[in-house]
Amino acid sequence: MIGYLFYNSIWFSGVMILFLFPYYKLVQKKETEKRLEKLKLEFKDALTALTASLHTGYAIENAFREAYTELSLLHGEQALIVQEFDYMLKQMHVSRTVEEVVEEFAVRSGLEDIQNFSQVFSMANRSGGKLISIMDAAAETISQKIEVEREILVMIQGKKLEQRIMSVVPIAMIAYLRIGNGAFMQVLYESLVGRAVMSGCLIGYIAALWLGEKIMAIKI
């Protein structure tokens, strides 16, 4: 559609299909980011459930089982964190150590917060008596960081919506002009200068989309 709007050429529209592959990868990346963000928020609840179980007096393996039960009630059986806890418990059942399964979970997740927790957890588990206090401190620090990230995302959500709307406006304007007064736009498709102008507009449009994504990609 973009190829036809900017160049009035079915042939060029066919060429533009090649750009669907990097666009598809971008969509996949966005979906992965959403999935990781959801896992991060669920992990915050998992930390709360784990520390609460430890304070109740459960051993670390039983604390994971209690946390799994609580997370299942809170998020449902299909939640990412519930599936991860279910897998970790199955690994513990076949004589894998808690440290090993937590470390593998951190690697699978690819999240810095979970990887940091894995390192702290390994040290805390080896320290024995200090496990609960170290877990409390780690859980509070990580939870606060996740909460700050969440607050920032909520603050910029409106700006992201504005960005999406503005990204559609140029395409909508060109479509409106073509439908409303096609003869007025014809010079941009038939002359060399017109095609150069439309090419410049397309490049500027893509650059603006890329810049907008970079500005909104806030890392903490």
Is the pLDDT at 83 greater than 90? The verdict is yes
Digit-coded pLDDT (tens) for 35-70: 888 888 888 889 888 888 888 888 888 889 999 999
Average pLDDT over every residue of 124-140: 76
Average pLDDT across the chain, whole number = 84
Confidence of residue 220 (pLDDT cuts 50, 70, 90): low
In whole angstroms, give the CA distance from residue 215 to residue 163. 10
The CA distances from residue 43 to 50, 80, 85, 217, in Å, are 10, 9, 10, 22
Query: What is the DSSP secondary structure assignment for residue 77, as one 8-state letter?
Result: T
Confidence of residue 128 (pLDDT cuts 50, 70, 90): low
pLDDT at 96: 85
Give residue for tokens 């076949």: 94
Lowest pLDDT segment from 51-55, 93-97, 129-133: 129-133
Residues near 220 by beta carbon (within 8 Å), at least 6 away in sequence: 145, 148, 149, 152
The CA distances from residue 83 to 35, 73, 104, 147, in Å, are 13, 13, 14, 23
Query: What is the DSSP secondary structure assignment for residue 78, as one 8-state letter?
Result: T
CA max distance for the chain: 81
**Sign (positive or negative) of CA dihedral 82, 85, 86, 87:** positive
Contacts 24+ apart (CB under 8 A), 102-111: 108/84, 109/36, 109/39, 109/43, 109/84, 110/36, 111/36, 111/39, 111/40, 111/43
Q: Does the pTM of the predicted model rise above 0.85?
A: no
pLDDT at 154: 80
pLDDT at 86: 93
Confidence of residue 130 (pLDDT cuts 50, 70, 90): confident
Average pLDDT over every residue of 111-128: 82
Confidence of residue 24 (pLDDT cuts 50, 70, 90): confident
Q: Which of 46-50, 180-184, 212-216 has the highest mean pLDDT?
A: 46-50
Lowest pLDDT segment from 32-41, 95-104, 148-157: 148-157
Is the pLDDT at 1 greater than 70? The verdict is yes
Lowest pLDDT segment from 75-79, 125-129, 183-187, 208-212: 125-129
203, 160, 219, 30 alpha-carbon torsion, rounded to 10°: -70
- Token pair for 141: 């620090």
Is the pLDDT at 26 greater than 90? The verdict is no
